[in-house]
C-alpha cells in the first residue's frame, strides 16, 4: 500500500522536500519555531478547503487550456474517483509550493520563517494526500476516525458534490455550512459529472 502511495502524484517529491527541510531544522542549519510549521499546516488546511470548494469546483472556463486543466486537476477525478493517476501531479504541487514560499518570504523577509511555514504546508499536504489516497483505495482504515474520514470524503463523491469539501477535517465544512448528516443530504445527480 505504501509503495503504491509513493508511485502516484507528487508524494515522493513531497516526502523528499519535507525530509530535507526537517533534516536542516534538526541539524540546526535552519532555525525556526515549530509554531511556524504549525501555522503553515493550518494555512494549508484552510487553503485545502477553499481550493477544493471554490477553485476545483468552479464552473468550466471559456478558455480551452484552463478548462483542460480543470478537468485534469479535479473534474476527471469525480468521473473516475478510484483512478489514482488523477491525484495532484508534481507539476501542480511544485509551483504551488514555490508560490507559498514566495508569499511567505515576501511577508516575513525571513528565510528561516519561510522554511518553517513551508515545512508545515508541505507536511500537511502530504497528510492530505495520504488521507485522500486511503479514501480512494480498497482499504479499510484501522482506526475509527480513519474509517469515518474515508466515509466522509466518499460522501462528497457519491452522495452530493456540493457538501463535504474537507478531505482532512470537517471543521471548515461545519463553519461554512457545507457539512450535513448523510441521512439529511439530498442525493445529487452530478457527483460524477460536475458540469454536464
* Count of domains for the chain: 1
Residue 141: inside a domain, yes or no?
yes
Q: Tell me: the pLDDT tens digits for 90-100?
A: 888 889 899 99
CA distances from 10 to 14, 47, 90, 181 (A): 6, 18, 4, 32
pLDDT of residue 3: 83
Indicate whether 189 belongs to any domain: no
Task: State the burial class of residue 89 (Cβ atoms within 10 Å of its Cβ: 0-12, 13-18, 19+).
Answer: middle
In a domain, 194, yes or no: no
Inside any domain, residue 190: no
Q: pLDDT category, 72, cuts 50, 70, 90? A: confident
Q: DSSP assignment of 26-94, as one string? A: HTTSS---HHHHHHHHHHHHHHHHHIIIIITTSPPPSSHHHHHHHIIIIIHHHHSTT-GGGS--HHHHH
Instruction: Evaluate if residue 127 carries a pLDDT over 90.
Output: yes
Residue 107 domain-assigned? yes
Torsion of CA 189, 191, 192, 196, to 10 degrees: 60
Classify residue 103: in a domain, yes or no.
Answer: yes
The rounded distance, in Å, linking the Cα atoms of 65 and 69 is 6
Cell 460536475, residue? 194
Task: Indicate the SS3 state at residue 161.
Answer: coil
For 111, the domain range is 2-184
pLDDT by residue (tens digit) across 38-60? 999 999 999 999 999 999 999 99
Amino acid at each position: 500500500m505504501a509503495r503504491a502511495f509513493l508511485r502516484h502524484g507528487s508524494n515522493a517529491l513531497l516526502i523528499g522536500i519535507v525530509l530535507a527541510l526537517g533534516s536542516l531544522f534538526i541539524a540546526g542549519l535552519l532555525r525556526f519555531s515549530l509554531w511556524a510549521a504549525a501555522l503553515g499546516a493550518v494555512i494549508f488546511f484552510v487553503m485545502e478547503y477553499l481550493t477544493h470548494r471554490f477553485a476545483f469546483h468552479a464552473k468550466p472556463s471559456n478558455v480551452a487550456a484552463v478548462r483542460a486543466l480543470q478537468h485534469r486537476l479535479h473534474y476527471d477525478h469525480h468521473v473516475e474517483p478510484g483512478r489514482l493517476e488523477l491525484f495532484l501531479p508534481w507539476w501542480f504541487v511544485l509551483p504551488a509550493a514555490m508560490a507559498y514560499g514566495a508569499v511567505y518570504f515576501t511577508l516575513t523577509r525571513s528565510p528561516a520563517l519561510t522554511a518553517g511555514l513551508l515545512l508545515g504546508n508541505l507536511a500537511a499536504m502530504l497528510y492530505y494526500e495520504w488521507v485522500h489516497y486511503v479514501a480512494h483505495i480498497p482499504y479499510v482504515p484501522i482506526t475509527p476516525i480513519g474509517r469515518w474520514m474515508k466515509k466522509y470524503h466518499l460522501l462528497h463523491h457519491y452522495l452530493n458534490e456540493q457538501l463535504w469539501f474537507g478531505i482532512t477535517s470537517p471543521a471548515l465544512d461545519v463553519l461554512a455550512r457545507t457539512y450535513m448528516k448523510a441521512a439529511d443530504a439530498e442525493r445529487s445527480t452530478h457527483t460524477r459529472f460536475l458540469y454536464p
